[in-house]
């Protein structure tokens, strides 16, 4: 894929012109509401006590998914090791991390590629990302030049529905409903989305879908129509208050509906339990997820709630 030439002043948009209404007045309203809430933060996402680090270091044949925390996964597929949104930060803003990462950096196998969903700090943490400068970096449109300027030599930039090849894998950048900003001046100057990873020669449901951050939107159904997905890595946290968050983060119930629409076989929840980005708690997110799963009568074995550092094959 050719290197993109940045278009000066370009701002990216959601499907159907959907816009985020995150103005200062609404932000102050949320913060005032937040101060009145009393939340039980005693539940901590458990660590896996039987981590498969030896297997992960040598595995080049089996497809495996290991949850490291928040939106960070180690995905082993097609003989390659991929990381999504690597964040080993101990703090996000002024708040400490709620639970340590499931794998330490020293426990990782050699990483072949990093997939970024968007540029928000809880997904693109530069100190963590710099630990993988020798890896191939696959990023949304608008981020390539910025990352090359930071010294990353192997950067491939994709727009929605575009794909890149990596060894015997296809890496597809797919839509999400979200937004981006890292400074006061770069709102929506880079895109956002998810990734579908599948072997170039595939049969049956082999694809891994990493949804990134998203509100509920028609793109989930479109993704399900295009790909045969086995694993759906879906966000379930940072949804409260819903009047403020609903356009950018799905609720647990909406995440289940999205799972149904992408027609995946296994649901693996993410984007909860590491950082307090909104008013919901990890326990609340999981309780709502379990309740919705039961209400719909979905197969219990299709819901894989991982411990931190746990691996599913």
Contacts of 113 (CB under 8 A, 6+ apart): 80, 81, 82, 83, 135, 136, 137, 138, 166, 171
User: Using one digit for the tens of pLDDT, what is the confidence trace for 86-99?
Assistant: 999 999 998 999 99
| 185 burial level (CB within 10 Å; 0-12, 13-18, 19+) | exposed
* Residue 1 clears pLDDT 60, i.e. is over it: no
Distance CA 258, CA 308 (A): 23
DSSP 20-85: ----HHHHHHHHHHHHT--------PPBPSS--HHHHHH-SSS-EEEEEETTEEEEEETTEEEEES
At 204 the pLDDT is 87
pLDDT range class, residue 21, cuts 50, 70, 90 = confident
Distance CA 153, CA 293 (A): 44
Q: How much of the chain, in percent, has pLDDT values that exceed 70?
A: 97
**The two structure tokens encoding residue 8:** 């000066």
CA separation, residue 74 to residues 70, 151, 247 (Å): 12, 23, 28
CA angle 227, 167, 148 (to 5 degrees): 95
| Pairing state between β 229-235 and 266-270 | parallel
* Residue 5 clears pLDDT 90, i.e. is over it: no
* Residue 6 clears pLDDT 70, i.e. is over it: no
User: Using one digit for the tens of pLDDT, what is the confidence trace for 239-292?
Assistant: 999 999 999 999 999 999 999 999 999 999 999 999 999 999 999 999 999 999
The predicted model gives 219-246 an average pLDDT of 98
What class, spelled out in words, does domain 48-312 have in CATH?
A: alpha beta
Name 278's bridge partners. none
pTM to 2 decimal places: 0.97
At 296 the pLDDT is 98
User: Using one digit for the tens of pLDDT, what is the confidence trace for 144-194?
Assistant: 999 999 999 999 999 999 999 999 999 999 999 999 999 989 999 999 999
CA separation, residue 199 to residues 102, 132, 169 (Å): 27, 23, 4
For helices 252-262 and 219-226, the axis angle rounded to 10 degrees is: 30
- Gyration radius of the chain's alpha carbons: 18
- Parse the chain into domains and list their residue ranges: 48-312
* Residue 2 clears pLDDT 60, i.e. is over it: no
| Residue 22 CB neighbours (<10 A) | 15
| Residue 274 CB neighbours (<10 A) | 26
The predicted model gives 192-215 an average pLDDT of 95
Distance CA 202, CA 184 (A): 43
């Amino acid at each position: 894929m050719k290197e993109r030439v940045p278009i000066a002043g370009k701002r990216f948009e959601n499907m159907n012109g959907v816009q985020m209404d995150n103005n200062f007045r609404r932000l102050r309203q949320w913060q005032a509401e937040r101060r009145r809430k009393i939340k039980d933060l005693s539940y901590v996402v458990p660590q896996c006590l039987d981590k498969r680090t030896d297997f992960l270091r040598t595995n080049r044949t089996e497809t495996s998914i290991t949850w490291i925390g928040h939106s960070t996964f180690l995905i082993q597929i097609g003989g390659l090791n991929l990381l999504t949104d690597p964040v080993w930060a101990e703090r996000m803003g002024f708040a400490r991390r709620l639970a340590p990462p499931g794998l330490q950096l020293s426990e990782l196998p050699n990483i072949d590629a990093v997939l970024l969903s968007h540029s928000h700090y809880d997904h693109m943490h530069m100190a963590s990302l710099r630990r993988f400068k020798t890896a191939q970096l696959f990023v949304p449109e608008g981020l390539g030049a910025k990352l090359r300027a930071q010294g990353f030599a192997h950067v491939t930039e994709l727009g929605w529905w575009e794909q890149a090849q990596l060894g015997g894998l296809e890496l597809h950048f797919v839509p999400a409903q979200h937004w981006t900003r890292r400074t006061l001046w770069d709102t929506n100057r880079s895109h956002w989305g998810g990734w579908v990873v599948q072997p170039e020669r595939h049969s049956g449901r082999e694809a891994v879908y990493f949804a990134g951050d998203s509100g509920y939107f028609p793109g989930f159904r479109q993704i399900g129509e295009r790909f045969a997905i086995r694993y759906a890595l879906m966000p379930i946290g940072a949804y409260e208050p819903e009047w403020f968050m609903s356009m950018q983060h799905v609720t647990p119930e909406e995440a289940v509906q999205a799972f149904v629409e992408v027609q995946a076989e296994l649901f693996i929840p993410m984007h909860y339990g590491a950082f307090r980005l909104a008013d919901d708690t990890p326990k609340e997110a999981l309780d709502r997820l379990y309740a919705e799963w039961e209400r719909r009568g979905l197969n219990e074995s299709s819901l894989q709630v991982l411990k931190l550092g746990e691996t599913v094959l």
